[in-house]
Amino acid sequence: MSVLASPSPSSAPSVLAALGTPPLPVDILRFNTCGSVDDGKSTLIGRLLYDSKSLMEDQLEALERSADITGGGAINLANLTDGLRAEREQGITIDVAYRYFATPRRKFIIADTPGHVQYTRNMVTGASNANVSIILVDARLGVIEQSRRHTAIASLLRIPHLVVAVNKMDLVGWSEARFNEIREQFETFLPRLDIKDVKFIPISALNGDNVVTPSGNTPWYPGPTLLGHLEGVHIGSDWNLNGFRLPVQWVNRPNNPTDAQLHDFRGFSGQIAGGIVRTGQKVLVMPAGLVTTVKEIWTYDGSVAEAFCPQSVTLVLADDIDTSRGSMIVGLDNPAGTGTELHAKICWMHSRPLERGKKYFLKHTTSTVQAVVTELVHRLNIETLDPEPAPAALAMNDLGEIRLRTAKPLYYDGYAVNRLTGSFILIEQGTNATVAAGMLLPSHEVVKPESDDFMI
């Protein structure tokens, strides 16, 4: 059956055309889709793009060409996102694919994350910056291990909103009882996870029911369509605005300035990773441990009196303090945690397992340090969601908790409080492979000035 039974969208105006030039500001919602093989993720994205008239004629032509060659004539919406030859040949998604579309309400960035091999790795990649995660469940199969794993990862990454899209409802006769059964399966384990907002939506990605247009097959479902929900969900601020943090990325020192005023210019460039900074504010510079004052917040578009997370700025400080890439400039209220003994939740993403005593590079904000794994605290059992204490190793796709010791102190926050200063990656020495994503638990110790000399 061709899924493109409806008239070609080329005859209808595009959403953007109807809109004309979109009025600013428009916000961006990032979401990712996860499910296992054949749950219909790529089809769902194809459907979202197709029904929201975000597909262009040449993309449809390319789809039709590939249908003639490989699909026996039936158009496969998954071919829109499966961009690699091996993916089209095998009918699977290999790597995270990003897609972009807009409606009058919002701009959307979709990360399509494959659900088979390397799924944890891909899902963590696709979901780490997401506002919303969509978990696809095949209505015939209900909750399977993958559904539990994806939900646990979404919880671990603290994705603010979750959507459970119960797909292939057409294959279970649009049964309300089956839909409720799956919702109850989820609700048995959801309370054990850190997820605040979950929405269940019955859909058929193949036929388009409740994706963009409300379905006549689900009179018992009073809620929004999937796109309606994505357009309306309140994403508020994902950024932490309490506790100023500026990880120094680059020291900005003009070498040969033609402008005499810039002779002594020394700025610290970076993206604000938390809080708000104002000129005249006292800040603590780590690792120097000295307090100074923000003299100027320099930007290309002129100096500003105030800047906030996640803006990119260049700070000029009142005193000359030894500061370089990897330093952290922090506000005096809500001081950052610090230490070399770290406790973290972790997703392991490499075929060589994590073992106690191994050394890695740890990249946290703009600082890369050596780290040694001192303890494997537990491994999460995905079936039961129970922690299994003191495992011998963490294998690919395992979630767990570990302790590490770093060669130099980090300046950080708990991941639950600040995603940007509470996250790190581990890099294998030698191969330089990224092997783990880590989420720090709060520190017991906080940064403080070396001496009070600069304090007033």
Give the footprint of another protein on residues 35-74 (CB under 8 A).
56-59, 62, 65-66
Q: Which is nearer to another protein, 1 or 234 (CB)?
A: 234
Q: Is 86 in the site for another protein (CB under 8 A)?
A: yes
Do the bridges between strand 337-348 and strand 290-298 make them parallel or antiparallel, or are there none, so unpaired?
unpaired
| Count of beta carbons in the 10 Å neighbourhood of residue 150 | 30
DSSP character at residue 22? P
For helices 176-189 and 145-156, the axis angle rounded to 10 degrees is 50
Residue of 34, 49, 78, 80 interacting with another protein (CB under 8 A): 80
Q: Are 254 and 262 in contact (CB under 8 A)?
A: yes
Residues 6+ apart with CB under 8 A from 372: 357, 358, 359, 360, 404, 405
Q: Which is nearer to another protein, 189 or 361 (CB)?
A: 361
* Interface region with another protein, contact rule CB under 8 A, candidates 33-41, 80-88, 158-166, 443-451: 80-88
Span 332-361, contacts to another protein by CB under 8 A: 349, 361
Q: Is 98 in the site for another protein (CB under 8 A)?
A: yes
Q: Is 7 in the site for another protein (CB under 8 A)?
A: no
Q: Are 453 and 288 in contact (CB under 8 A)?
A: no
Residue of 36, 133, 147, 423 interacting with another protein (CB under 8 A): 423
Q: Is 250 in the site for another protein (CB under 8 A)?
A: yes
DSSP character at residue 428? E
Q: Is 19 in the site for another protein (CB under 8 A)?
A: yes
Least distance between another protein and beta carbon 128 (Å): 4
Q: Which is nearer to another protein, 58 or 322 (CB)?
A: 58
Here the tokens at position 244 are 């100023």
Q: Which is nearer to another protein, 129 or 185 (CB)?
A: 129
DSSP string, 189-204: HGGGS---EEEEEE-B
**Distance in angstroms (rounded) separating the CA atoms of residues 24 and 392:** 54
Q: Is 369 in the site for another protein (CB under 8 A)?
A: no
Per-residue binding string, another protein, 296-315, x by CB under 8 A, is: --xxxx---xx-xxxxx---
Q: Which is nearer to another protein, 83 or 173 (CB)?
A: 83
Span 258-287, contacts to another protein by CB under 8 A: 259, 262, 265, 267, 269-271, 276
Residue of 64, 67, 181, 239 interacting with another protein (CB under 8 A): 239
Least distance between another protein and beta carbon 95 (Å): 5
Q: Which is nearer to another protein, 25 or 222 (CB)?
A: 25
Residue of 68, 74, 84, 197 interacting with another protein (CB under 8 A): 84
**Distance in angstroms (rounded) separating the CA atoms of residues 87 and 131:** 27
Q: Is 94 in the site for another protein (CB under 8 A)?
A: yes
**Distance in angstroms (rounded) separating the CA atoms of residues 76 and 42:** 9
Q: Is 14 in the site for another protein (CB under 8 A)?
A: yes
Element (H, E) at 307: strand 306-308
- Total residues contacting another protein (rule CB under 8 A)? 91
Q: Is 242 in the site for another protein (CB under 8 A)?
A: no
Span 426-455, contacts to another protein by CB under 8 A: 427, 432-434, 437
Sign of CA dihedral 136, 139, 140, 142: positive
**Distance in angstroms (rounded) separating the CA atoms of residues 435 and 224:** 39
Sign of CA dihedral 210, 214, 220, 226: positive
Per-residue binding string, another protein, 134-163, x by CB under 8 A, is: ------------------------------
List the end-to-end C-alpha distance of the chain, in Å, as a whole number: 76
